Structure 1
Amino acid sequence: MTADTADDVVTAAFLVIGDEILSGRTKDKNIGFLADYLTALGIDLSEVRIVPDIKSEIVDAVNALRAKYTYVFTSGGIGPTHDDITADSVAAAFDVPLNLDPRAVAIMEKHYPPGQFTAARQRMARIPEGADLIENKVSKAPGFRIGNVHVMAGVPAIMQAMMDAIAPSLKTGKKMLSETVDAQMPESRIAEQLATIQDTHPQTLIGSYPKAIDGKFTTQIVIRSRDEIVLAAAVKDVARAVDELSG
């Protein structure tokens, strides 16, 4: 097997925005969801950052991540309040105007009763010039996509609905496959063997994850590869090493 080509690998970063996440007031539920979701599609989530509601911090993070990865996904900060500044920040990162978008206005005017599309709610219809809308089936206020950056709500149910809307448009790569071998021993006992197996199978990723239950240490060994044959060979070597060490 040759090394992964650019066509095999599609990468992504996730930018979580909000003081409430950093303070612990809100417990993030989106990182794990997105990691699972993208893995199932064949996209590698390669980096996660959490930044406060500070415009310069968001701009810097967006520009750094969009230059480095195939896709960037953001969550948080596109609501109706004064501290929801993600749309402003992303527009600044792309150096484009941020205005009321007629498409977003039409969606939201239809959703709210007459007279209820207030100035605060109109903030959620501000979209950077040139961006496409991301459908929101839950509460209607759309997210948006500009360049390779997808801007979504922080509320998990809304964010997840937006991902379902985005998914058909995403380029996907060759999926990462994985197998797990359980070892009834502490991680340190098999560490040397795993290092050797990793060197023998450079096109795999081998990780070991220790557990302790009632004072007994065990290890889960996870082997990942995009090639079934390569994966099977590495799994066989890991299982053999575990058996030999187990006596």
Structure 2
Amino acid sequence: MTAAPNQAITAAILVIGDEILSGRTKDANIGYIADYMTLIGVDLKEVRVVPDEEAEIVAAVNALRTRYTYLFTTGGIGPTHDDITADSVAKAFGVPIDVDQRAVDMLLTRLKREDLNEARLRMCRIPQGAELVANAVSAAPGFRMGNVFVMAGVPRIMQAMLDVIGPTLQTGAKMLSETLEAGLPEGAYGSALGEIQKRFPQTSIGSYPHFNTSGGGFSNQIVVRSKDPALLAEAVAAVRLMIEELKAARGL
């Protein structure tokens, strides 16, 4: 489903878990989701990380779901006492939560009924009115509540859930980009690059230090982004001309 040409489709990520904030677990989901959103034409605008505290999760969910088209959460839907994301999302939406027979049936495709203990049943607690998100890896589902998608924190499971979610999303024009090697220190072109950005306000132009792994240390790359291919080409041409002129003035 593609949005109207001028309609921006936006998203945020809410990462939930004390283990992320303590450094014990290194997040591997933000970059993956960001890449995925870019490929399908959804603009990722914000990422937040909150602890396993109900008040913090509820506040973040309510802030982000009203600000953006979609909110993706990762973490906190497992079987242990500190997995409180489902309860917190239910509270954010003001709905009850209980064991959902649909989720139970999904788990029973992988487990014997006698193995469905209290801890595993925690993964079947779904807010009232939510749609389930299938989990091809371990069966325990995620869910969708309004524009909020609640996914697992384990990267492989999250990725499987995102593959289910992706085709259901409204998408916009894809962001295009082109990278130019500056071959100059940032101080030499900072002001001129700023002037080009003013000339092309509908593009995003950034300068980034880049480490050359094949030798030569750091170099600077200029990245130009736009959803309009003609505008992108025009801005890139302006940046390229700026680089050429500055190098010529330096005898490079």
Residue 47 of structure 1 pairs with residue 46 of structure 2: yes
Specify the alignment match of 1:178 in structure 2: 177
State the distance in 1 between where 2:244 and 2:159 align: 42
3-state SS of paired residue (2:180): strand
Specify the alignment match of 2:129 in structure 1: 130
**Counterpart code for 1:122:** L
State the distance in 2 between where 1:74 and 1:35 align: 13
After TM superposition, the score normalised by the length of structure 1 is 0.95
Task: Compute the RMSD of aligned alpha carbons.
Answer: 1.4
State the distance in 1 between where 2:117 and 2:219 align: 57
Deviation per CA, 1:66-118: give whole Å up to 9, x if none.
Answer: 00000000000000000000000000000000111111011112320241111
Query: For structure 1, which segment, 179-188 or 6-15, has the greater mean C-alpha deviation from structure 2 after superposition?
Result: 6-15
3-state SS of paired residue (1:45): strand
Specify the alignment match of 1:26 in structure 2: 25
Which residues of 2 match residues 89-100 of structure 1 at below 5 A? 89-100=88-99
Specify the alignment match of 2:223 in structure 1: 222
3-state SS of paired residue (1:208): strand
State the distance in 2 between where 1:201 and 1:80 align: 51
State the distance in 1 between where 2:76 and 2:132 align: 16
**Counterpart code for 2:221:** Q
1:243 positional shift: 1.0
Which residues of 2 match residues 121-160 of structure 1 at below 5 A? 121-160=120-159
**Counterpart code for 1:238:** V
Deviation per CA, 1:181-216: give whole Å up to 9, x if none.
Answer: 111111111111111100111110001102356785
Specify the alignment match of 1:71 in structure 2: 70
1:139 positional shift: 0.3
State the distance in 2 between where 1:219 and 1:13 align: 29
Contact 2:5 2:173 in 1 (8 A): no
State the distance in 1 between where 2:6 and 2:72 align: 20
Specify the alignment match of 1:105 in structure 2: 104
Specify the alignment match of 2:81 in structure 1: 82
Alignment gaps of 5+ in structure 1: none
1:54 positional shift: 0.3
Identity rate, percent:
59
**In 2 relative to 1, CA 94–182 (structure 1 residues): closer, same or farther, beyond 3 Å?**
same
3-state SS of paired residue (1:115): helix
Contact 1:186 1:210 in 2 (8 A): no
After TM superposition, the score normalised by the length of structure 2 is 0.93
Paired residues, what number?
243
**Counterpart code for 1:95:** G
State the distance in 1 between where 2:218 and 2:105 align: 59
State the distance in 1 between where 2:177 and 2:50 align: 31
State the distance in 1 between where 2:6 and 2:200 align: 21
1:245 positional shift: 1.1
**In 2 relative to 1, CA 7–108 (structure 1 residues): closer, same or farther, beyond 3 Å?**
farther
State the distance in 1 between where 2:58 and 2:5 align: 27
Specify the alignment match of 1:243 in structure 2: 244
State the distance in 2 between where 1:66 and 1:26 align: 26
State the distance in 1 between where 2:182 and 2:104 align: 57
Contact 1:12 1:71 in 2 (8 A): yes
3-state SS of paired residue (2:114): coil
State the distance in 2 between where 1:217 and 1:107 align: 51
3-state SS of paired residue (1:223): strand
**In 2 relative to 1, CA 232–26 (structure 1 residues): closer, same or farther, beyond 3 Å?**
same
